[in-house]
Amino acid sequence: MGIDEQLFVACKDGKVDQVKQLLNDPTINLSYENSNNHQTSFWIACENGHIEVVKLLLNDGRIDGDINKVNEYDNYEGECDIQRAMNGATPFFIACENGHIEVVKLLLNDSRVDINKPNKDGQTPFYIVCQRGHIEIVELLLKDNRVDVNQPDGNDGLIRETPFYSACGWGKTEVVKLLLNDQRVDINKASDGVTPLYISCYYGYFEIVKLLLNDQRVDINKASNNGRTPFCTACSCGKTEIVKLLLNDSRVDINKANENEATPFWKACQIGHTEIVKLLLNDERIGDDINKTTRTDTAFYSACYFIKTEVVKLLLNDERVDVNKTNIWSQTPFFTACQNGHIEIVKLLVNNKRVDINKASFDGTTPLLIASKKGYIEIVQHLLASTKGVTLNDRDLINVERIKETAKKQIMKSEDEFQLRFKNCENIVELLKSFKRNPNETRFKLRLQLGFTGKHFFLKKIISISLFQFFMDIEAASVFATIVLLSDNYLNFKKE
């Protein structure tokens, strides 16, 4: 091991006496760099916080050209965040990043040190200490007039995050408090349209959001480039406590839509954040936005489409919700549930008194027909079993015989899937024919099969038998089925 490498290792390990001895050699090269990361002896001493070694090197005149010399990783791409920050870092930068406050103090008192020089990602020492949460070093740098407190990271003129934004985005509450007290700090400076408040709401940093809301300088409703506000992102990300906090601030626009005309309420319904949907339904400011349509559909439609069952239940119980409002293709929420095979949603909707189970899409296709064509036999069964009375019109009958042929032409993922679809279509054809011949009898059999008779079945049966004897001249099976259906309505057992 050569003498230059010996000095490097001694500085790395903090061996003060050995460093003193090696510095007495006039031939030693203080600009020596290790082979992997191009780190000098001074750099490695600062990285490891060896204050006495740093003092020795600063007092050696031969160090002048290396005080601000950066390291450089040979394999930069794909490194972790810490290594990326270290790449192109000065000794002062690395001392800041690692939180070596005594070394930082020492270097701040040396006029040769460039305290603003960024790393290869454009991050300054001040930026990195705000991001890492080194509060004492942040305080030191704020007192130094040479520091640009708003200098963002980024290279080649690409502006991204300011130090304040980074502190918010990394959840460094104490740093945020400190920066809010400095009038020089731009607390609304956005990164690609995203403000510090927005990013704090996105990650759910409750204490930071509270701090920002209490500062009158903060633009509470400033939207990102795609039109999404901080409140909207809190709703989208399921940050319930943040939503509660924002709802208590009258300045917050809770209905502001993004560029696709999706409101915070719509986003919460689409993603399925039930607790947030409850909060919004209980806020009188939501108003007519309950039924507001995006470029394509309503919040209720979206909840049905994305199978957000708990949200659908919640909205069904709110009379303000238009449960039949169509999308841009004139398809109702019920239609889309049938079309996509969402059986649980269909079960919720099919017997709801407000839901129109027969409303066709723009081309005249009914929910029954689309479910039949798709081979969703369980959905077809629930439609035919409904006491609301599903419509089987002439057009549907004309298309019935084509269902099996349609199934043959569908591209299936596997042979088993094809066979199941084909068999379902065969059974659906027979079921629809049976319903056309005798709807009451078919409905009754399906209700028995699906377990809709419930605990009062025998009471209904007694009623039906008595009436059946009165109508002896009418076909028994048909009357029996009809009476059971009448008893369904009479006893109000629709929800069994």
pLDDT tens string 12-39? 999 999 999 999 999 999 999 987 788 9
pLDDT at 295 over 60: yes
Which comes out higher in pLDDT, residue 15 or 487? 15
Structure-token match 């407190």, residue found: 149
Which residue in 399, 481, 403 sits closest to 448, CA to CA?
481
- At residue 473 the predicted structure's pLDDT band, cuts being 50, 70 and 90, is very low
* Same domain, yes or no: 306 and 346: no
Which residue in 431, 358, 423, 445 sits closest to 397, CA to CA?
431
Of all residues in the chain, the percent with pLDDT exceeding 70 is 82
Q: What is the pLDDT of residue 401?
A: 64
* Same domain, yes or no: 318 and 332: no
The structural domain count of the chain equals 3
* Same domain, yes or no: 289 and 224: yes
* Same domain, yes or no: 318 and 274: yes
Which comes out higher in pLDDT, residue 282 or 66? 282
**Mean pLDDT on 432-449:** 92
Taking the C-alpha atoms of residue 358 and residue 496, their distance in angstroms, rounded to an integer, is 22
Q: Is residue 278 one of the residues assigned to a domain?
A: yes
* Same domain, yes or no: 490 and 406: no
283: domain range?
Answer: 220-322
* Same domain, yes or no: 333 and 415: yes
* Same domain, yes or no: 284 and 386: no
pLDDT at 272 over 90: yes
Dihedral of CA atoms 106, 109, 112, 114 in degrees, nearest 10, equals 80
pLDDT digits (tens, 9 = 90+) for 330-341: 999 999 999 999
Domain boundary (322, 348, 383) is at 322
Please give the backbone phi and psi of residue 447, each rounded to the nearest 5 degrees, phi first: -65, -35
Could you give the C-alpha distances from 78 to 75, 153, 172, 209, in angstroms and in order? 8, 19, 26, 33
Q: Is residue 48 one of the residues assigned to a domain?
A: no
pLDDT at 456 over 60: no
Of all residues in the chain, the percent with pLDDT exceeding 90 is 70
**Mean pLDDT on 239-251:** 97
Q: What is the pLDDT of residue 215?
A: 96
As a whole number, the mean pLDDT across the chain is 87
* Same domain, yes or no: 354 and 414: yes
* Same domain, yes or no: 225 and 298: yes
* Same domain, yes or no: 333 and 412: yes
Contact 30, 42 (CB under 8 A): yes
Q: Is residue 463 one of the residues assigned to a domain?
A: yes
467, amino acid identity: L
List the single range of 244-253, 389-398, 413-422 with lowest mean pLDDT: 413-422
Which comes out higher in pLDDT, residue 454 or 180? 180
Structure-token match 């040479």, residue found: 146
Taking the C-alpha atoms of residue 331 and residue 199, their distance in angstroms, rounded to an integer, is 36
**Mean pLDDT on 192-217:** 96
- At residue 458 the predicted structure's pLDDT band, cuts being 50, 70 and 90, is very low
Q: Is residue 317 one of the residues assigned to a domain?
A: yes
Which residue in 327, 303, 387 sits closest to 352, CA to CA?
387
Q: What is the pLDDT of residue 404?
A: 58
Contact 404, 426 (CB under 8 A): yes
* Same domain, yes or no: 423 and 494: no
- At residue 81 the predicted structure's pLDDT band, cuts being 50, 70 and 90, is low
Distance of CA 164 to the CA centre of its chain: 24
* Same domain, yes or no: 273 and 315: yes
pLDDT digits (tens, 9 = 90+) for 209-228: 999 999 999 999 999 999 99
Which comes out higher in pLDDT, residue 7 or 420? 7
The domain spanning residue 411 has which CATH number?
1.25.40.20
pLDDT at 496 over 50: no
Q: Is residue 303 one of the residues assigned to a domain?
A: yes
Domain boundary (391, 412, 437) is at 437
Domain boundary (437, 468, 488) is at 437
Q: Is residue 425 one of the residues assigned to a domain?
A: yes
